[in-house]
Amino acid sequence: MTEKADFTGVEQTMLITLYLRAWESRSKDSILRDHVAAQIVDHIDYDFSKLMMRGGAGNRFLLALRARQLDEWAADFLRRHPDAVVLHLGCGLDSRAFRLDLPAGARWFDVDLPDVIDLRRKLYPEPEGYQTIGSSVTEPRWLEEIPTEHPVLVIAEGLLMYLTEDENKRLLHQFTDRFSRGELIFDGFAPWVIRMTQRMSKRLARKGYPSYSTAIRDDREIERWNPGFRYIDDVPLASLFARIPVRSYRTVYRLMNAIPATRNFYRMFRFGF
């Protein structure tokens, strides 16, 4: 049985990330080994070839590296807080809840726009301790469902760049207002990358893609937006070049890592609150 996926704009971006993780995970030297992604892709009725823009082949490593880094931080949080509540924002069709070993006491919420969650519910099971929420994260009401008495891990992969800076600030304030402690892990682009996608916005729109809105200027950005957060760590994606199994792509990422202007083009961040 296959399910139709009829998306445009920001919702469509989750099909690209799913497809690239599935592609990367089929290689014997896979960085991520997201075999669930490969199975899910086979159940979606969609012409994935039309998503492929130039750079698609190399982007599968970018996606795998960022997902693995966020998986490692998430697994570390769950080890320290087996009773955690995990809010996985802009989850798309990502299999993270099923890739990680969830402690029996943890609760996981996958959150995305209603149409995405409708499709997700047809493709994934909803076991005990796991729940989906179909809502924009900019709507404050979805948070009312979330228990407040546990340590909270917020994961936002491939999301914050699509929200405006004001939406991001409002969202983060809701976490510090509502929960007493937790961590936020996410990915963010340098300002020059955001400006570049904005210059390409017409071309991207013709292909049905949105451009990015929000950059992460430096590792203190989130503390400036909301002093309730404290910086813990950041990892430039390019610094993970040694994990790439294909020499040509490894060399490109290694060079990007060696050049200060490109080293921080894309980073994963970890903040506490």
Ligand X SMILES: C[S@@+](CC[C@H](N)C(=O)[O-])C[C@H]1O[C@@H](n2cnc3c(N)ncnc32)[C@H](O)[C@@H]1O
Tell me the DSSP string of 55-76.
THHHHHHHHHHHHHHHHHHHHH
Q: Work out whether strand 266-272 and strand 182-189 pair parallel, antiparallel, or are unpaired.
A: antiparallel
Of the candidate residues 5, 18, 160, 237, the single one contacting ligand X (CB under 6 A): 18
C-alpha to C-alpha distance for 118 and 2, rounded to whole angstroms: 14
Stretch that binds ligand X, among 13-21, 175-183, 214-222, 252-260 (CB under 6 A): 13-21
Is residue 71 at the binding interface for ligand X, with CB under 6 A as the rule?
Answer: no
Of 181 and 207, nearer to ligand X (C-beta) is 207
* Interface map 151-190 toward ligand X (x if CB under 6 A): ------xxx--x----------------------------
**Stretch 101-140 residues interacting with ligand X (CB under 6 A):** 112-113, 116, 136-138
Cβ count within 10 A of residue 144: 8
Nearest distance in Å: CB 88, ligand X: 8
Is residue 239 at the binding interface for ligand X, with CB under 6 A as the rule?
Answer: no
- Which residues, including other chains, have CB under 8 Å from residue 85's CB and lie 6 or more apart? 106, 107, 108, 109, 146, 147, 150, 151, 152, 153
Contact present, 243 and 31 (Cβ < 8 Å): yes
Nearest distance in Å: CB 21, ligand X: 7
Is residue 235 at the binding interface for ligand X, with CB under 6 A as the rule?
Answer: no
C-alpha to C-alpha distance for 75 and 100, rounded to whole angstroms: 7
Is residue 11 at the binding interface for ligand X, with CB under 6 A as the rule?
Answer: yes
How many helices (DSSP H) and strands (DSSP E) are in the chain?
A: 11, 9
Tell me which residues touch ligand X (CB under 6 A).
10-11, 13-14, 17-18, 90-92, 94, 112-113, 116, 136-138, 157-159, 162
